[in-house]
Amino acid sequence: MLPKIVFFNIVQSLFFIPFLTIAFLCSIIARFKSKKNNKPRLVWGSTPIINYSYWSKAMKRVNYNSETFTKGYYTIINKRDDWDKIIEECYQTLPYHFRGFFAFLESLFKYDVFVISFDGFFIGNTLFENFQAQIMKIAKKKVIILPYGSDSYSYKMIRSTSLIHGLIMSYPEASRKQKYITNKVDYWCKYADAVITGIMGPDGFGRWDVLTPSPFCIDLDQWKPSLKKNLANGIDDRVVIAHAPNHRGFKGTEFIIQSIEKLKSEGLLIELILIEKKQNTEVKRILCEETDILVEQLIATGHGFNALEGMASGITVISNLEDDAYLLPMRRWSFFSECPIVSATPETLTDVLRKLVTRPELRCQLGRVGREYVEKYHGFDSAQYLFSNVIDYVYGRKESLINLYHPLLGEYPNRSPKIKHPLVNNRIID
């Protein structure tokens, strides 16, 4: 008996021409049935990246018809309530492998703007993936691309050797698919209406329409500043340090554990909490009620969503912010000079932690301005501003987005006072 995937590939080959014919006919019909209004219908998918849920909720609050439509969700850390439509609950009479084709065709009639990753939308990773953009363009659909990592990292294109090694430690299988990944990136960089790469931009994309260190947003109504008195100094009282080791090689978890043990051997009172395979509600409780310092990552330059959770909780956050090849453009032409995350590497973490553990007044200051930073740049209103401008751009109502966050020319960074913090290029200065 043939394996299911082999059988699926054979069926794809047999129905290649019929499906394309149907898809192009559907795109023509959808083109003439497109809604004529200023509020296009948005869909986020089909890979279940949790940020899609947050962005979609943000746009719903300003009266967009917006929903997620994904292949599933990660049950270990997310809840069903985080998502709108998932394909497991649709087209129940069809074999699972074929549902994506119907989801793609149906979506041509239901949505106007597709916010997706380089994985594509439901028919990515099939024989039809290189026809997605053409079908969508005939249907007058707009495509906005936001990468998340494994959809688009071709290791040979990455500037940082340390990042390459960290990725190989955590995701070795991707090193065997570099040509395929590169082709996906080139395809969508050519055909997408907008590409927003964030901190990943220098690593082989060659295109970004918005220069931002991170497009992520967080629901600040759900994340409140910590009520814990952040006065422990590691000598009289214990300091709690948290880390989420979901990608250990990529994040440098072993170096974090080593630094904690070194500081403990010096006599400092420290506890390390490893946040792993926990629901978001439990992550929130740990950060808001127990944690003094969050160490996010030491290998990859930049920060992820977990850093926003830490800053939203009003605690000090540490990430690797050392490589100016990535960060100088973000400080010069975007808002990253206002970011109060403390930079550390595997080689400097012990010293950075020692300073933060023994200086509670510095932690309090960084926690306070960290909350101010996410309120200014990563709340739902920031997502509404970003995507409203991107939508205007893809429909031709805005000429360019390249200076959207320019510290001198951009409206958004100057809508409120600059975030003032005690760091210089994210480093503690004695």
Residue 388, domain member (yes or no): no
At 96 the pLDDT is 83
219-248 average pLDDT score: 90
Mean pLDDT, rounded, of the chain: 94
Residue 160, domain member (yes or no): no
Q: Are 27 and 136 in contact (CB under 8 A)?
A: yes
pLDDT at residue 185 tops 70: yes
Q: Is 198 exposed, middle or buried (0-12, 13-18, 19+ CB in 10 A)?
A: buried
pLDDT at residue 2 tops 60: no
pLDDT band at 393 (very low <50, low <70, confident <90, very high): very high
In terms of domains, do 15 and 120 share one?
yes
Which of 145, 163, 186 is the last residue in one of the domains?
145
pLDDT per residue over 77-102, tens digit each?
Answer: 888 999 999 999 999 898 888 899 99
Residue 13, domain member (yes or no): yes
- The span from the CA of 382 to the CA of 216, in Å, is 9
CATH number for the domain spanning 246: value is: 3.40.50.2000
In terms of domains, do 136 and 265 share one?
no
213-223 average pLDDT score: 96
Residue 50, domain member (yes or no): yes
pLDDT band at 280 (very low <50, low <70, confident <90, very high): confident
In terms of domains, do 249 and 364 share one?
yes
- The span from the CA of 68 to the CA of 85, in Å, is 6
- The span from the CA of 325 to the CA of 135, in Å, is 37
Q: Is 142 exposed, middle or buried (0-12, 13-18, 19+ CB in 10 A)?
A: buried
The domain in which residue 276 lies consists of: 239-379
At 124 the pLDDT is 94
In terms of domains, do 139 and 243 share one?
no
Q: State pTM to two decimals.
A: 0.94
In terms of domains, do 18 and 140 share one?
yes
In terms of domains, do 125 and 245 share one?
no
In terms of domains, do 268 and 137 share one?
no
In terms of domains, do 139 and 254 share one?
no
Residue 285, domain member (yes or no): yes
pLDDT band at 430 (very low <50, low <70, confident <90, very high): confident
pLDDT per residue over 119-166, tens digit each?
Answer: 999 999 899 999 999 999 999 999 999 999 999 999 999 999 999 999
Residue 186, domain member (yes or no): no
pLDDT band at 37 (very low <50, low <70, confident <90, very high): low
Residue 176, domain member (yes or no): no
In terms of domains, do 121 and 251 share one?
no
In terms of domains, do 140 and 9 share one?
yes
In terms of domains, do 8 and 141 share one?
yes
Which of 118, 145, 172 is the last residue in one of the domains?
145
pLDDT at residue 364 tops 70: yes
Angle at the Cα of 419 from the Cα atoms of 317 and 234, rounded to 5 degrees: 30
In terms of domains, do 125 and 255 share one?
no
Which of 93, 112, 145 is the last residue in one of the domains?
145
Task: Please give the tally of structural domains in the chain.
Answer: 2
Residue 229, domain member (yes or no): no
